[in-house]
Structure 1
């Protein structure tokens, strides 16, 4: 039976297990925060079972581990049915034994997709495109920091120690010598990615001290979100091997740039593969402009998805390499929505507003939902912005407290993402935000305790 299981695995997983005996399978899903939840079991047991159970309350848990109660919802914690999606099976090459990770599909006991599961939310949005004969394509960029070990929340985060014996330096974007300072971590990231069957387009030094950018290939939104979900764990494990930590926090170090998850979007005709953002003469189509118009109109409503924590808004600071506006422009990195240089058949728009602390399923779903609504409702975009858009304030919320009411009132977005999901997400995030408001910060104690 174990042999039958292995024969169903993706090629990379089969290659990883050549000459080895599969010991364990980690059965996982992503919660609202994108944290892996599930259980590990012996491979022989996994091969014999078709599914397992997990309570639906996993989607009511906050990032601090507290639980949210939704008015009118009975708190009985019914089981969900988790079925392995073997196409996601991939190695866990950092473990001591031979282990695979498998993402599971999540249905209720009647066989319906659980609407609060982030992966199901993204599948719902993709299905809307597919019903119109369209296929959305995304290409994510991941930014993250390698930092010195830090187990004290009161201590400021520091850059890691490099191979030269000095801490990583800031303001060294694209420097090969800077990224070589933590070359062993990068080498393990490449090795782990190869073992897991993931393709990396490139790795480079970003502008912050110890900040790295990893570019991924373009493709299916659900598959790419799965890979980001796996990559976060992969990168953390690679860092731990070399006495440092990897963090995907949006703004971990004061006075350094934040970490983004830029999302490139295009849409193709499913039957022909033609990019609908480009016409026969290689020019912009109305669909392309309406997609941008939808992003400009609706992104403020889904900022709570792409900037999901109070720290996320620390990124939105002028002159720190993060957009602070909803302008769009061609080859202009100061705009929140950028149209990169490309061949006409590869025309796309890049949403630069999402932070790397987001749940990849929800950020991609939210961004695609905005473009989808723009095409359906035929929203024209503003004129493309020329020059430095950092001088423009186009109305994105600057605090989580501002973002949550916008999400609550976004009825058109709720119809795309699903009412039950939106209600649950709103409740969880309000619980997190209310807990944060009870915390007294070091700044308050330093400047207010004896001075006011």
Structure 2
């Protein structure tokens, strides 16, 4: 039957060219109308495309996907409705109708052997019933904030994320954890070490190839410190594109792992006794192509603006902790015995500091926020870091950058800090702040209050990346 189905299947090199062209348009801020017209013409002319996968993320950062028939989408792209009450953290049942807009600039050609033939991907924007940005769609909130900074200040907000994960034996290892009580490593090699043909290396190679084809512009990839742990690095991007790439990175890793009969996990600390996984978040601001965080004469060779940015994040470190460490399991990672960034400090050398100032030059000068879990909502992470860094308050604490202050070691303290902070209300609005806190409270209340020395089944089962209705109802 397959020869009857003439669906689009492009070689990886051709995919990379198409995705890099689209990325360049996005970088140059080509008008939305121009890109929309171009994409609709392409979809109309390319007969081998059968469906368009529209992606959006819920308040906790879980990625959702809908496939629209291509011909239907071309006719109805400006009136795509869906039931928001089925998405945790979105609208209540009484006001469930939401619409999906299409962000045509965030358009991706994907390898057919991983995503299926005849499909392209595009990110959506959730629109409320009044036609405005839906407050629970943090991607739209971030996009709006980023555009505002560009329009008012000429600022381009840049981010690069180093996302660590684990590769475990078996499909659905996380969803089966409440039955098995353990994760099985596929490799015990450790940092930089795996043989060319072993499962971890094959997984990393395959994932890197898919990323390259999707225009990620890879830099380096390697096994990490812990057994079966990996990190696949790619270049920085404008803040919304960077957050989109985090979602795609995790999606690609999970899909490739599943096809190989394994599970890619982004739990921050799935195994006690070895290093956890982080998502070190490198940020900078450019204006007219010039890096505003660079100053060869400044302390640690970063500018006054970069230090002010850093000081504001340190001031609000505890306020933001629940946004950057979004799960019960994340607080296992904030353990000082494993290079954990749990001190609310800034340092060029101390990896236990929340913020590190890496060695940089005019191009690479940046601030690295280390206390971020790989399971956090990337749009929330980048929005809260940039808005706090630019508009937060600065504490009068003496020696703020080196004061003895620590991030919470459990989700209940983080929830208390988040709920009690005025800044989080300013950041998100009281309604979204309350909804987010309620979601985190619900997961936390199903877990052991004290972390203890073993990972408990509920902290995996009720994790926002893992749960489904069936698992949630087992409680």
TM-score, normalised via structure 1 length? 0.81
* 8 A contact 2:83–2:98 mirrored in 1: yes
Q: Deviations over 1:238-257 (max 9, x none)?
A: 11122211000111112111
In 1: Cα distance, 2:61 partner to 2:184 partner? 25
Q: Partner of 2:437: helix, strand, or coil?
A: helix
Cα distance in 1 for partners of 2:164, 2:396 equals 31
Aligned position for 2:63: 36
> Among residues 87, 99, 103, which one is paired with 2:119 in the alignment?
99
Cα deviation for residue 301 of structure 1 reads: 0.6
Q: Is the 8 A contact 1:289 1:380 kept in 2?
A: no
After superposition, give the CA deviation of every residue in 1:278-302 in whole Å (9 maximum; x if it has no partner): 3475643321211111111112111
Q: Structure 1 residues 335, 403: closer, same or farther in 2, change over 3 A?
A: same
* Paired position in structure 2 for 1:185: 203
Partner of 1:158: 183
Report the Cα offset of residue 220 of structure 1: 0.8
- Partner-residue secondary structure (3-state), 2:271: coil
Matched, 1:126 2:126: no
Poorly superposed stretches of 4+, deviation over 6 Å: 13-20, 378-381, 438-445
Task: Tell me whether 253-262 or 188-197 shows the greater mean CA deviation.
Answer: 188-197
1:118-170: CA deviation from partner (whole Å, max 9, x where unpaired): 21232244245333332221111110001111334242443443xxxxxx115
| Structure 1 residue 92, shift from structure 2 partner | 4.2
Tell me, yes or no, if structure 1 residue 57 matches structure 2 residue 68: no
User: Measured at CA, do residues 380 and 442 of structure 1 come closer, stay the same or move farther in structure 2, by a change above 3 Å?
Assistant: closer
Instruction: Provide, for residues 208-235 of structure 1, a one-character-per-residue CA deviation record: whole Å limited to 9, x for no partner.
Output: 1110012221121110101111111111
8 Å contact from structure 1 (residues 303, 403) kept in 2: yes
1:101 Cα shift? 2.0
Aligned to 2:241: 223
- Aligned to 1:136, which of 157, 163, 169? 157
Match of 2:264 in 1: 246
Q: Which residue of 2 aligns with 1:23?
A: 50
Q: CA deviation at 1:358?
A: 0.8
Among candidates 131, 153, 169, match of residue 188 of structure 2: 169
SS of structure 2 residue aligned to 1:289: helix
CA gap 1:28/1:58 in 2 versus in 1, 3 angstroms: farther
User: Corresponding residue for 1:323?
Assistant: 341
Extract unaligned runs of 5+ from structure 2: 1-15, 23-41, 457-475
Alpha-carbon shift at residue 178 of structure 1 (Å): 8.1
Q: Which moved more, 1:245-254 or 1:29-38?
A: 29-38
Is this contact kept in 2: 1:143–1:211, CA < 8 A?
yes
The C-alpha deviation readout for 1:350-387, integer Å capped at 9, x for no partner, is: 0000011111111111222321234x6587994665xx
Inter-partner Cα distance in structure 2 for 1:332 and 1:179: 36
Q: Please identify, of 17-26 and 353-362, the stretch whose mean Cα deviation from structure 2 is larger.
A: 17-26
Aligned-pair CA distance for 1:393: 5.3
After TM superposition, the structure 1 stretch with the greater mean CA deviation from structure 2, 295-304 or 96-105, is: 96-105
Corresponding position: 1:115 with 2:142:
no
Work out the CA distance in 1 between the residues paired with 2:295 and 2:205: 42
Aligned partner (choices 276, 289, 314) of residue 273 of structure 1: 289
**In structure 1, distance between residues paired with 2:453 and 2:266:** 23
Task: Choose the corresponding residue for 2:169, options 114, 139, 148.
Answer: 148
CA distance in 1, matches of 2:328, 2:455: 16
Contact 2:204 2:230 (8 Å CA) reproduced: no
Report whether the alignment pairs 1:396 with 2:407. Answer: yes
State the match for 1:364 in structure 2: 382
Deviations 1:389-424 (A, max 9, x none): xxx852211110000121112222321333332122
Query: Which of 347, 350, 355 is the aligned partner of 2:368?
Result: 350
Give the Cα separation in 2 of the matches to 1:139 and 1:195: 19
Displacement of 1:75: 4.3
Q: CA RMSD in A?
A: 3.3
SS at match of 1:249: coil
Is 2:108 aligned against 1:90?
A: yes
Measure, in 1, the Cα distance between the counterparts of 2:340 and 2:346: 14
CA distance, structure 2, for counterparts of residue 358 and residue 368 of structure 1: 16
Please list every run of 5 or more consecutive structure 1 residues that lacks an aligned counterpart in the other structure: 1-8, 62-67, 162-167, 386-391, 446-452
Is 2:351 the counterpart of 1:340? Answer: no
Conserved? CA contact 2:204–2:222, under 8 Å:
no
- Decide whether the 8 Å contact of 1:126 with 1:136 is kept in 2: yes
Shift of 1:111: 1.8
Q: Name the structure 2 match of 1:4.
A: none
Deviation at 1:438, TM superposition (A): 8.9
Structure-2-length-normalised TM-score: 0.78
Is the partner of 1:207 in helix, strand or coil? coil
CA distance in 1, matches of 2:455, 2:69: 51
| Maintained 8 Å contact 1:205/1:211 | yes
Aligned residue runs from structure 1 range 295-306, under 5 A: 295-306=313-324
